[in-house]
Chains A and B, each alone.
Chain A
Amino acid sequence: MAHKIRLKKVTIVGERVLYDDLIDLLKRHHVSGWTAKNVIGEGSRGVHASDWEGSNTQIYTLVTEQIADAIMDEIAALYFENWSVVVYSQDVEVLRGNKYQAQ
């Protein structure tokens, strides 16, 4: 019987110029890891600078609920006003739960 732990998967979709900033932000919250890829799409803002430099970035990370909330609050405060950014969290179940606990 697999021993599963409940965690949050936080997904951030944003303009690619924000990529470095977003990774810094995640590291400030001591996430144990992250995965990123380039994505395309359209949102309520329409045109943005990344339009020219290519696609958006999508970053996701697995964290505890407490850290997920902190990350989402910080992103909301920093980026929602002027940037094309979406952030959401989902419930996930993982193996090796202690791997994802904040150091």
Chain B
Amino acid sequence: MLILQHLLRMQLLLDNILTPVVLCFLLGMVAKWIKSDLALPEPIYQGLSIYLLLAIGLKGGSALSATPAMVFMKPAIATLVIGLVSPVIAYYFLRWIGKRSQIDAAAVAAHYGSVSVVTYLAAVEAVKRSGLASEEYLPALVALLEVPGIIVALLFVRTDGANSWSKALHEVITGKSIVLLLGGLFIGALCGSDKLVDVQPFFGAAFKGALCIFLLELGLVAGKRLKDAGKAGMRLLMCGILLPPLLGTLGVIAGLLSGMSPGGSAILGAMAGSASYIAAPAAVRIALPQANPAYYLTLALGITFPFNLALGIPLYLKTSQLFSLWLTKSA
């Protein structure tokens, strides 16, 4: 009986890994490992990221226009709280367990405070496969979680002038991920689902295929980072593996307490437990040039992203289901 349960659990884990999106990521990593000449041309990567971000924004925007403000308010506040709290936790984690300098800890904290859009997408897929429902307005929460964490983390370090601060702020707020996400949300909300039907064949039907190619590139970059992960040492490795479940569980709880569904809370957990690698690296590089990029890029892309893809997301899903059961029982 126990063995059967164990096998079932393995099945759940395999179900999460054996999807085209995750396997494309693995293919990228393998390609890097065997030193294949496979490389995604940069303009294609840039084009795909624009496509994905805009598509997410449009979808969320049209859902938002159909959501009453009162329903959206509490999850939005929960998301902002996550954005304020998670970089603080990540900072002290990196200081005490990672034994990093103030500057390096703040740089890493900015990445964990922000959100990885691809992890979010993978979580949405996993929740859909598990048969649970999730809120359609979640892309709006992604946009909300993107910026505050980076700003909070940068507050830990006194930079030598207002100049680099304002530049970094400008980079985060006007960076392409925020412009496209927020822009997409506005367009989606203004047009509503009726008018979006026209662009649906492009933004909807092709979405997952485009995501596969994007993940292929992420796999290539992560494969490169993974080689550095060995050099990073045990302490950093531990941070990259322990921070996601810690922050992810907080995200799940915040989601459930704000009245979101178990599926939506699991996704919010994945968002909270993820580390940004589009908005944060550029902003951190500008604000904290002294910080070692090898730490934050290796943690965010080489360790935490693959961890969430394979183990984190099923974990948040399970945690969310258990907590929501417990909450309904105790209520």
| A87-B329 Cα distance, complex, nearest whole Å | 67
Q: Is the CB of B289 within 8 A of A52?
A: no
The residue in chain A whose Cβ has the minimal distance to the Cβ of B300 is A52
Question: Shortest Cβ distance from A54 into chain B, in angstroms?
Answer: 5
List of A residues within 8 angstroms of B224 by Cβ: 51
Q: Is the CB of B285 within 8 A of A51?
A: no
Question: Shortest Cβ distance from B110 into chain A, in angstroms?
Answer: 12
Q: Which single member of A38, A46, A49, A81 contacts B281 (CB below 8 Å)?
A: A49
Q: Which single member of A17, A38, A54 contacts B286 (CB below 8 Å)?
A: A17
The residue in chain A whose Cβ has the minimal distance to the Cβ of B277 is A52
Q: Which single member of B42, B171, B284, B286 contacts A55 (CB below 8 Å)?
A: B42
| A17-B286 Cα distance, complex, nearest whole Å | 7
Per-residue CB contact flags for chain B residues 294-322 toward chain A (1 = under 8 Å, else 0) read 10011001000000000000000000000
List of A residues within 8 angstroms of B282 by Cβ: 17, 49, 53
Q: Is the CB of A48 within 8 A of B293?
A: yes
Q: Is the CB of B294 within 8 A of A46?
A: yes
| A41-B46 Cα distance, complex, nearest whole Å | 20
List of A residues within 8 angstroms of B228 by Cβ: 47
Q: Is the CB of B221 within 8 A of A54?
A: no
Per the 8 Å Cβ criterion, residues 56-103 of A in contact with B are 81-83
Known pairs A38-B42, A47-B228, A52-B281; list 4 more (Cβ under 8 Å).
A48-B285, A51-B221, A81-B290, A82-B289
Per-residue CB contact flags for chain A residues 27-48 toward chain B (1 = under 8 Å, else 0) read 0000000000010000000111
Total residue contacts A-B, CB cutoff 8 A:
40
Would you give 23 A-B contacts (Cβ < 8 Å), ordered by A? A17-B171, A17-B285, A17-B286, A38-B42, A46-B294, A47-B298, A49-B281, A49-B284, A49-B285, A49-B293, A49-B297, A50-B285, A51-B221, A51-B224, A51-B297, A52-B221, A52-B281, A52-B297, A52-B301, A54-B45, A54-B46, A55-B42, A83-B289
Question: Shortest Cβ distance from A44 into chain B, in angstroms?
Answer: 13
Per the 8 Å Cβ criterion, residues 63-110 of B in contact with A are none
List of A residues within 8 angstroms of B297 by Cβ: 47, 49, 51-52
List of A residues within 8 angstroms of B281 by Cβ: 49, 52-53
Q: Which single member of A15, A38, A55 contacts B285 (CB below 8 Å)?
A: A15
Tell me which of B171, B293, B297 has the highest count of chain A C-beta atoms within 10 A of its own C-beta. B293
| A82-B198 Cα distance, complex, nearest whole Å | 49
Q: Is the CB of B290 within 8 A of A82?
A: yes
List of A residues within 8 angstroms of B285 by Cβ: 15, 17, 48-50
The residue in chain B whose Cβ has the minimal distance to the Cβ of A54 is B42
| A47-B226 Cα distance, complex, nearest whole Å | 13
Q: Is the CB of A47 within 8 A of B277?
A: no
List of B residues within 8 angstroms of A50 by Cβ: 285
The residue in chain B whose Cβ has the minimal distance to the Cβ of A50 is B285
Question: Shortest Cβ distance from B14 into chain A, in angstroms?
Answer: 30
The residue in chain B whose Cβ has the minimal distance to the Cβ of A20 is B167
Tell me which of A47, A52, A53 has the highest count of chain B C-beta atoms within 10 A of its own C-beta. A52
| A54-B277 Cα distance, complex, nearest whole Å | 13
| A38-B221 Cα distance, complex, nearest whole Å | 18
Question: Shortest Cβ distance from B39 into chain A, in angstroms?
Answer: 10
